[in-house]
Structure 1
Amino acid sequence: MWDQPYLETCCRSALHRLSLSEQAGRPAGLPDTPCLERLAGMGLALQRDDGRFVISATGTKRHCSEIMKRP
């Protein structure tokens, strides 16, 4: 049974970009900021003190299973 909240296509893309940006993160103020904020609210991303978003451990796991299709 699927027990995780659904990710819209735009949020899936934002999660993938977070994964690609690694520890550099993504700055706030970009067009995908609403998705980054939504991901942070779901615990899939974190917003650092400098305002940049980075992927969380939970986000990395979700990215691997849902986007990269790896267990």
Structure 2
Amino acid sequence: MWDQPYLETCCRSALHRLCLSAQAGRPADVPDAPCLKRMAGMGLALQRDDGRFVISATGTTRHCSEILKRP
């Protein structure tokens, strides 16, 4: 049974970009900022004190299962 909230295509893409950005993070003023904020609300991303978004441990797990299709 599927027990995770659905991610729109735009949010899946933003999650992948967030993973690629690693610790540099993504700025809050990029076009995918609404997705980053939505993912932060879901616990998949964290917003640092400098305003940049980074992937959380939960986001990394979700990225592996949904984007990379790895268990």
Quickly name the TM-score band, shorter chain normalised.
over 0.9
Amino acid at match of 2:30: L
Aligned length: 71
Task: Supply the distance in 1 between the matched residues of 2:42 and 2:28 (Cα, whole angstroms).
Answer: 17
Gap runs ≥5 in structure 1: none
Deviation, 1:21, is 0.2
Cα offset, 1:2, TM superposition: 0.2
Structure 1 segment 15-30 matched on structure 2, within 5 A: 15-30=15-30
CA–CA distance in 2 between the matches of 1:31 and 1:67? 20
Structure 2, unmatched stretches of 5+, are: none
* Alignment match, 2:51: 51
Aligned amino acid, residue 23 of structure 1: Q
Give the TM-score, by structure 2 length: 0.99
Secondary structure at 2:4 match in 1: coil
- 2:11 is the alignment partner of 1:11: yes
What RMSD in Å do the two structures reach over aligned CA positions?
Answer: 0.3
SS at match of 1:28: coil
Structure-1-length-normalised TM-score: 0.99
1:17-38 Cα shifts (integer Å, max 9, x gaps): 0000000000001100000000
Percentage identity across paired residues of the two chains:
87
Cα distance in 1, alignment partners of residues 55 and 26 from structure 2? 9
